[in-house]
Chains A and B, each alone.
Chain A
Amino acid sequence: MTETARSQTAPIEGPDPEKVKAELIAKYPPKVARKRAKQIIVNRLEPGDKVPEINANVRTVPGLMSQRGCCYAGCKGVVLGPTRDIVNITHGPIGCGFYSWLTRRNQTDPDTTPDGHNFMTYCFSTDMQEKEIIFGGEKKLKQAIQEAYDNFKPKAIAVFATCPVGLIGDDIHAVCREMKDALGINVFGFSCEGYKGVSQSAGHHIANNQIFKHVVGLDDTIGAGEFRVNLLGEYNIGGDAFEIERIFEKCGITTVATFSGNSSIDAFANSHTADLNLIMCHRSINYVAEMMEKKFGVPWIKINFIGAEATAKSLRKIAAYFDDPALTERVEAVIAEELPAVQAARDAIRPRTEGKRAMLFVGGSRAHHYQELFRELGMRTLSAGYEFAHRDDYEGRKVLPGVKVDADSRNIEELDVCQDPDRYRPRKTPAELAALSAKGLEFKDYQGMMPEMPEGSLVIDDISQFETDLMIEKYRPDIFCAGIKEKYMIQKHGIPMKQLHSYDYGGPYAGFKGAVNFYREIDRMVNSRVWGYLKAPWQTNPELAATYAWE
């Protein structure tokens, strides 16, 4: 934990969090209140980064307005949705494909790969009709794959199943196998029906599994570059991955594949040749990292490029791993070169943001990562929580052995992965790994969000609209971060709201340049004049001052 981080975990002032918690659940029917009580936790920090247990990755309460989406959304949203050179066909009624059409801001640069393919601006759907629900949709799916091939000649086609597909029993995988043979290109499917799991998270897992099964490892060519890494769980919202790539390039670090930002399926096929996996969003992508390590011997470390200090720290971790003096020197030079501009921007802005208070309820890692940027602005996190994370994302991976696997999670396939007889290549000897660990480089570890949050802050998993409203009333934060569905409700309260899924169409916020963008954006938001316009002059001073009488 950095010094700034430590000072930020000091208790926060304000209402008694236990009382607030009691109020948050007071209106709920008893059963709901009992359930939510385990998902609303007052943070306590005990020695050894020990934090209280939180219930997470459990079912959404019907009727309670949650932020969550479904398994399909999670599956299409990560890995392949942001990958430009594959045709992604949604097998189902039109809605699912329509709503996931260009609504996430995964930027991509198709002209960086020779074929220039980019299907991300397109939406492909089988637009299932009643007839297919009754008689089955396999025939239509097969025909749709054929038509996609005839029209677009892609090198790969993926199929995403929606709710009714699972219910009527279409075997999308059989259709995909058949078409793969017929067309001679990679065709594979995702059984990511919306009702699976309890949130998008189930879809992430399914996406990880299938990309690992069908793509990773198909191309053994070892490309150029001395220090070759994969960036996992970076979705290039607003160009974040571009900024990270820029920094890597300066440092002499080569990105083999980014899962999934500015990504190409060819890069995934080749990604097992990298020498280190870097995990940004632990929640959505740790499965691929784990599987790559088991099968190919690629170790993984958790990094974070949100926040300038975090970026510097992450670069140093990478340098420590490769343990090469030239790389270390270059990394230090890049940090030294980049930080002054960041520092200057921070110094100019911080007097206007110091002491302001934020709440973050979003995603599966962003609610944690962005606290870092707020810290750099001298702001405190009053309360935070994830939309679809699991206990390890809150409390750290140390709790993994004790996490209960419930029925909803058990239904999601766990791939049985073992060492590849030919291609497993340990990147470091056990002795080297031990030496790196001794120097403080933690492999396969994530500390979670709660150890870095203030004592007495409320950690709320899968926050409901009702709880959001009450939290705003109780604390009146200076800024609130969540997603599009929450945006305008919060702003109607007169509180600025920053979207951390879409960045409100701004960004990038990763890396050094991103940090500066974020400082400026938060300065704009928390110091905006807009919030002073809510009352008309006659509402603040309602007495009639005088009347002009003509007679």
Chain B
Amino acid sequence: MLLRHTTTEIKDRTALTVNPAKTCQPIGAMYAALGIHGCMPHSHGSQGCYAYHRSALTRHYKEPVIAATSAFTEGASVFGGQANLMQAIDNIFSIYNPDVIAVHTTCLSETIGDDIPQIVNKAMAEGKVPVGKYVIHANTPSYAGSHITGFAGMTKAMVDYFAETASSRTKTVNLIPGFVEPSDMAEIRRMAAEMGLETIMFPDTSGVLNGPMTGKYRMYPPGGVTVEALRRTGSSLGTVALGHLASGDAARALDVKCKVPCQILDLPIGLGATDRFVDTLHRMAGVNVPDSLTFERGQMVDIIADMHQYFYNKRVGLVGDPDQLLALTKFLVSLDMAPVYLVSGTSAGKKFEKHLRAAVAGVPHEVKIKVGGDMYLFHQWIKQAPVDLLIGNSYVKYIAHDEDIPYVRHGFPILDRVGHSYFPTVGYRGGMRLLEKILDALLDRKDRDATDITFELVM
């Protein structure tokens, strides 16, 4: 047994987190910053933070992940990190020559109270920021929020620093994709393009964290939203933000700053959420939905109809980040599956919990939900009453292995498989991929457990 000490009996815990279902803000900020073209993410803290974040992102994407650090020592922690950040800015522009340095803070620099804009202003005054280059920042103390809110913070910083108010509106639609895979970002963009829309997506890690092997290493790959495009977000027709927690802040900031109206939707995971995404674009931009997308939708419905018997009433346990968890839960319910255990590590507020509860209102099982929970509790629930399927990140495989439950990897981080950075799970095509993954897991199990008599060729 891998998790041999996990007990069926649940004891109250108020102080100890065991097997977390979240990580800290800075890594989310780092990931978002990588979605700006020519950007060097910078961690203002001790070097362990950036080393851990780079390692985690590298393991997840199997791609180079660049970032720099202020490398605090004990002295800097006492006297403040100004000298370290100033030196870092100077070194980064001299040596790595990015267009943008995106600074995020850490628990260390936040606890001592470093004022990033003040330090950056000083660096600019001293000529350490070359003309035409930028230093932006987001406050991401690790003792608040999670990797998702850190992502949201850096995404909002893109608006705060770059979006420009214009006297007239263009026909462009801003797309804020949320903390999703590069493949998902590309798919969201593709669908909008299919509808004939001009879009600006930010952040956009496609082409950055799923790049090709060419024999030439490019520190700043061709992907990512450019500073020029970020400026123009302020004159766009509207913003479609996907995922309330990851994308809501930036969308609202753009509305406040540049009066760009926004629609904040669920992540387009599953049929219903994708329908709402497409319909929103259709109405916001006043364009027709092309037959090609309607065709893809029909294919997805076809799979659901053809294979419905295998989905029906299956009990599912899900661990995920709030935006993913809500969208996936709604999707599973729409398939007549029964999501019964729902855990998000990130605390996402009462409203989120209410939405989640509403999504499972019709599920004919007792549904347990913990927002701000951990995987230890999740595992204890499973020990009390098992499920037919698990969905979650790579850490869930320890539970799946111990309890012998079919398992689909989804979320962050995925450390032991490839595919997530190349093949989306959003949109109709992504939905079809998810359906395939769920069916593979369930039907492989059915095959495995069948007797010589009940083994089926056709399913």
Contact = CB atoms under 8 A, between A and B. Distances in A.
B416 to A, nearest CB: 9
Contact of A94 (B14, B24, B69): B24
Contacts of B329: none
A395 interface: no
Interface string B30-53: 000000000000100111110111
Interface in B52-80: 52-56, 58-59, 62-77
A440 B24 CA distance: 53
A123 B18 contact: yes
Contacts of B48: 69-73, 96, 194
B91 A32 contact: yes
Interface stretch (A56-64, A249-257, A452-460): A56-64
Contacts of A123: 17-20
Given A69-B48, A485-B54, A129 B144 contact: yes
Contacts of B106: 163
Given A163-B46, A466-B96, A194 B24 contact: no
Nearest to A199: B47
A129 B7 CA distance: 27
A428 B94 CA distance: 58
Interface in B203-226: 211, 213-218
B27 interface: yes
B344 to A, nearest CB: 13
Contacts of A489: 64, 217
Nearest to A502: B59
B312 to A, nearest CB: 34
Given A29-B90, A99-B56, A122-B5, A133 B111 contact: yes
Nearest to A501: B55
Contact of B46 (A70, A93, A490): A70
B11 A150 contact: yes
Contacts of A311: none
B138 to A, nearest CB: 16
Contacts of B142: 92-95
A167 B71 contact: no
Contacts of B448: none
Contact of A491 (B73, B75, B213): B213
A493 B49 contact: no
A526 B458 CA distance: 45
Contact of A28 (B89, B95, B111, B112): B95
B55 A99 contact: yes
B305 to A, nearest CB: 41
Interface stretch (A113-121, A347-355, A363-371): A113-121
A195 B76 contact: yes
Nearest to A129: B143
B70 to A, nearest CB: 5
A372 interface: no
A152 B67 CA distance: 38
Contacts of A49: none
A142 B16 CA distance: 10
A69 B85 CA distance: 18
A150 B376 CA distance: 14
- Looking at B71, B96, B395, the one whose CB has the most chain A CB atoms below 10 A away is B71
B58 A484 contact: yes
A144 B15 contact: yes
Residue from A72, A95, A100, A197 having most chain B Cβ neighbours under 10 A? A95
Given A164-B111, A492-B214, A143 B16 contact: yes
A447 interface: no
A304 B393 CA distance: 38
Contact of B16 (A72, A102, A148): A148
Contact of A162 (B107, B146, B345): B107
Interface in A455-472: 465-466, 469
B16 A195 contact: no
A295 interface: no
Contacts of B14: 143, 147
Nearest to A123: B19
B5 A27 contact: no
Interface of A: 27-29, 32, 59-73, 89, 92-103, 110, 116-119, 121-130, 132-133, 140-144, 146-148, 150-152, 162-164, 166-168, 193-199, 407-408, 411, 465-466, 469, 483-485, 487-494, 533-535
Interface of B: 2-5, 7, 11, 13-20, 22-24, 26-27, 42, 45-49, 51-56, 58-59, 62-77, 84-85, 87-92, 94-96, 106-108, 111-112, 141-144, 146, 211, 213-218, 345, 376, 395, 398
